[in-house]
């Protein structure tokens, strides 16, 4: 494991900081008494030079001020503060030896990890679209989705149709929508409509399918019960949104997502299970992740992502539990 960062210093109450998540970073696992209400004061903007000065005052070594200026010009200080908070001591100062370049290496690792995860999550989403649209269209017809009887009793059909109409209107200038408006009188087959859905929209479509249809899709394509698949897809949708909005992963408890608690590693294990392409997983994501990690072993501790010591074996196992690491 990397020797650059560990969070063993987070033990006591921190002084008031500029950013609420800095205090949370130190005390988030403690149940603190509610703080007395204070009068709100307006936050004042600061120049890049003032931001650098503030970092130095709090104990961060800035070895290359030109690099720091370029970085803070291009990346919002508030965003980077999420990463600087990882190096905070209990008194609100940065741990001795904290360097600007060191923090930026954690930032870069986190950014590259999100990109790797998003590639896999994109494939999971696209595959789910195909599974749902192919199954439903073959069973009920290309436009069977317009009939409420093709869904379960919990399905709110009018709201569903309204959302579809809104999606068509929002994408009315796209070549795909223009084609079906002009050539097919605005009659969209399900496999076209499905391309307009977000990950959350596809998940909702799946959860509203009839129980027997959900079971057929989950068993045929994923080898899971429909309830288990539905729960895991919801988690993946939340995980995808977390990554797509560039939120920090490193030392971040994914229990902050509403769907379930768990570490980043636990979400990656679910990704692996739903991905269902073991060879591509090993030769693609896992190979790239190993290369990424080894490039940052000087600063990254995978325990901060919830990785156990046998992480490589777990991520290399096939569906029979045999590791090819």
Tell me what pLDDT residue 253 has. Answer: 72
| Tally of domains in the chain | 2
Residue 178 lies in a domain: yes
Q: Which of 12, 37, 39 is nearest to 25 (CA)?
A: 12
Residue 5 lies in a domain: no
- How much is the mean pLDDT over the chain? 87
Task: Give the integer Cα–Cα distance in Å for 204 and 200.
Answer: 6
| Positive or negative torsion for Cα 264, 270, 275, 276 | positive
Task: Give the integer Cα–Cα distance in Å for 200 and 241.
Answer: 9
DSSP state of 46: -
Q: How confident is the model at residue 278 (pLDDT cuts 50, 70, 90)?
A: confident
Q: Are residues 155 and 246 in the same domain?
A: yes
Q: What's the domain range around 66?
A: 20-35+42-98
Q: Are residues 115 and 47 in the same domain?
A: no
| Positive or negative torsion for Cα 245, 246, 248, 252 | positive
Q: Are residues 203 and 159 in the same domain?
A: yes
Q: How confident is the model at residue 27 (pLDDT cuts 50, 70, 90)?
A: low
DSSP state of 96: T
Q: Are residues 231 and 296 in the same domain?
A: yes
Tell me what pLDDT residue 146 has. Answer: 96
Task: Give the integer Cα–Cα distance in Å for 206 and 61.
Answer: 52
Residue 111 lies in a domain: yes
Q: Which of 306, 137, 307, 295 is nearest to 205 (CA)?
A: 137
Q: Are residues 242 and 124 in the same domain?
A: yes
Task: Give the integer Cα–Cα distance in Å for 236 and 220.
Answer: 20
Q: How confident is the model at residue 181 (pLDDT cuts 50, 70, 90)?
A: confident
Q: Are residues 163 and 128 in the same domain?
A: yes
Choose one of 98, 121, 142: the last residue of a domain: 98
**Which residue would you say has higher pLDDT here, 22 or 12?**
22
Percent of the chain with pLDDT over 70: 82
Q: Are residues 246 and 294 in the same domain?
A: yes
Residue 250 lies in a domain: yes
Tell me what pLDDT residue 51 has. Answer: 94
Q: With a cut of 70, say whether residue 190 has pLDDT above it.
A: yes
Cβ distance 103 to 84 under 8 Å?
yes
Q: Find the mean pLDDT for residues 121-134.
A: 96
Q: Are residues 253 and 126 in the same domain?
A: yes
Cβ distance 184 to 154 under 8 Å?
no
Q: Are residues 217 and 93 in the same domain?
A: no
Give CA angle at 160 (157, 162), nearest 5°.
110
Burial 218-242 (b: 16+ CB within 10 A, else e): beebbebebeebbbbbbbbbbbbeb
Alpha-carbon distances, residue 1 vs 8, 108, 110, 298 (angstroms): 15, 18, 16, 8
Residue 1 lies in a domain: no
Q: Are residues 201 and 311 in the same domain?
A: yes
Cβ distance 98 to 87 under 8 Å?
yes
Q: Are residues 248 and 302 in the same domain?
A: yes
Is pTM beyond 0.85 here? Answer: no
Q: Are residues 247 and 127 in the same domain?
A: yes
Q: Find the mean pLDDT for residues 68-81.
A: 94
Residue 15 lies in a domain: no
Residue 13 lies in a domain: no
């Amino acid at each position: 494991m990397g020797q650059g960062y560990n969070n063993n210093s987070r033990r006591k109450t921190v002084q008031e900081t500029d950013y609420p998540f800095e205090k949370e970073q130190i005390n988030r696992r403690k149940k603190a008494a509610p703080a007395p209400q204070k009068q709100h004061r307006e936050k004042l903007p600061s120049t890049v030079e003032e931001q650098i000065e503030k970092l130095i005052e709090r104990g961060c070594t800035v070895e290359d001020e030109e690099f720091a200026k370029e970085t803070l010009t291009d990346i919002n200080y508030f965003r980077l503060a999420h990463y600087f908070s990882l190096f905070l001591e209990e008194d609100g100062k940065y741990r001795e030896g904290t360097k600007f370049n060191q923090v930026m290496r954690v930032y870069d690792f986190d950014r590259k990890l999100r990109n790797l995860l998003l590639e896999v999550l994109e494939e999971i989403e696209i595959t789910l679209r195909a599974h749902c649209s192919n199954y439903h269209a073959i069973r009920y017809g290309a436009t069977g989705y317009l009939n409420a009887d093709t869904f379960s009793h919990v399905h709110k059909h009018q709201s569903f149709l309204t959302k579809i109409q809104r999606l068509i209107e929002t994408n009315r200038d796209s070549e795909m929508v223009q084609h079906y408006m002009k050539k097919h009188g605005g009659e969209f087959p399900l496999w076209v409509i499905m391309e307009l859905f977000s990950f959350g929209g596809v998940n909702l479509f799946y959860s509203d399918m009839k129980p027997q249809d959900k079971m057929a899709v989950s068993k045929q394509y994923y080898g899971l019960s429909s309830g288990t698949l539905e729960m895991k897809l919801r988690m993946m949708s939340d995980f995808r949104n977390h990554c797509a909005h560039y939120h920090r992963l490193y030392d971040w408890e994914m229990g902050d997502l509403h769907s379930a608690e768990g570490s980043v590693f636990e979400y990656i294990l679910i990704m692996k299970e739903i991905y269902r392409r073991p060879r591509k997983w090993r030769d693609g994501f896992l190979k790239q992740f190993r290369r990424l990690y080894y490039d940052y072993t000087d600063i990254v501790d995978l325990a901060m992502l919830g990785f156990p010591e046998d992480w490589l074996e777990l991520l290399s196992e096939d569906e029979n539990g045999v590791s090819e690491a």
